[in-house]
Amino acid sequence: MLLTFDKAIDLLEITDISKVNIEDIPQVEKKSKKRWHPDKVSHLNDSALTQEYTANFQNIERACQMISSYLMGTYQAGEAFTETHKTAYEEPEEVIRQNAPDLQADLKNLWSLIKEKKYKWSMKEVLLSDGFKLRDLLNDDFKEDIAMLSVISFFYGILFLGIITAIAGAISPALGVIFGIVWFLQAISCILGFAPLSRFWLNEQVSEIVFKFIDFGLGIYNWAEEQGQNSANGWVVLLIRLPVLFAKIIKYIIMFPLYELAKIFIGDKVVGIVKQNVNYYGDAAEWYVDELISKNPNEMTGEELFHLSYLYADLIDVKSKV
């Protein structure tokens, strides 16, 4: 897909970029890769959903690079020119390229004066990202079965660790206490994973621990499922899969109405909107003018050359106007 700043914000699920620092990007990338890993939805046997997750997963690194550039100031807000900005008469590209050094030199000499006198200056609020709706995030949570997987993990993790804790307690009370703490953490982690949008409001370190415990319980279930496939007794398979059936009941009987109520409560609330005030001179953002007057003409695209020509015609008369 064509990755825009808006899509990068969406993909990384950054709700407030003003609170994100460049040091946070590795954690954002790590969290996003967990969020969009195709294995998370492979059990649903939905090829379209798996394809969507795969595409998003593959774009995470590029999205992080884009956000990093924005935070470092090398990627800035403000559109360049559109087709409507071009003059009716356009000089041939190569002619402009030959004259570009002279155009750049004249504009460089006048650039400080243009900014000082604010010649043809305006301040524009540029929308970098229109954000995303919380109700869409809730829909994603419900579709991904995070809550259902937490219930399955809860059952198998609690059962396994309960047995281990009982055995450890029989051997040594202190050892029983240690395993009891692990048992408690397993239960709390599954409860937190069951909560809607926990990946947003949980601390990054806490979230990582929570999902490790959930994965632990799911690992036990996967092992039990493999053992059940080798069993000739149908009741054994049914017993193994009973928590899955229970989890599905909880999903549609309890979670579905709760999610629907939450969507009614939050309405059309949008998070992740990113705006920035940008200085414009004529029809060009200040950062773009700096780029045009300093870039090697031989490396400029045809569009950039036409922009330079238009900018020169628009700003060169600053001395006679101020």
Q: Find out whether 263 and 140 touch, Cβ atoms under 8 Å.
A: no
| Amino acid at residue number 13 | E
- State the Cα–Cα distance between residues 29 and 194, nearest whole angstrom: 23
| Cα separation values, 231 from 189, 241, 311, Å | 31, 13, 77
pLDDT reading at 7 higher than 80: yes
As a whole number, the mean pLDDT across the chain is 82
List, for residues 234-244, the tens digit of each pLDDT value.
677 778 888 88
Total-model pTM: 0.51
List, for residues 245-263, the tens digit of each pLDDT value.
888 888 888 888 888 888 8
Q: Please count the other Cβ atoms lying within 10 Å of the Cβ belonging to residue 88.
A: 4
284-285, strands of its sheet edge to edge:
121-133, 270-281, 284-285
Which is nearest to 281 in space by CA: 247, 307, 246, 262? 307
Q: Where are the domains of the chain?
A: 1-75, 83-120+282-321, 146-272
| Amino acid at residue number 168 | A
Q: Find out whether 207 and 198 touch, Cβ atoms under 8 Å.
A: yes
- State the Cα–Cα distance between residues 86 and 100, nearest whole angstrom: 17
pLDDT reading at 54 higher than 70: yes
| Cα separation values, 70 from 8, 132, 152, 255, Å | 11, 19, 41, 38
3-state secondary structure of 278: strand
Q: Is residue 87 exposed (0-12), middle (13-18) or buried (19+ Cβ within 10 Å)? A: exposed
Q: What is the predicted pLDDT for the residue at 91?
A: 44
Q: What is the predicted pLDDT for the residue at 2?
A: 65
Q: What is the predicted pLDDT for the residue at 131?
A: 79
Q: Find out whether 72 and 21 touch, Cβ atoms under 8 Å.
A: no
Separate counts of helices (H) and strands (E) for the chain: 14, 3
- State the Cα–Cα distance between residues 10 and 235, nearest whole angstrom: 45
Q: Please count the other Cβ atoms lying within 10 Å of the Cβ belonging to residue 136.
A: 12
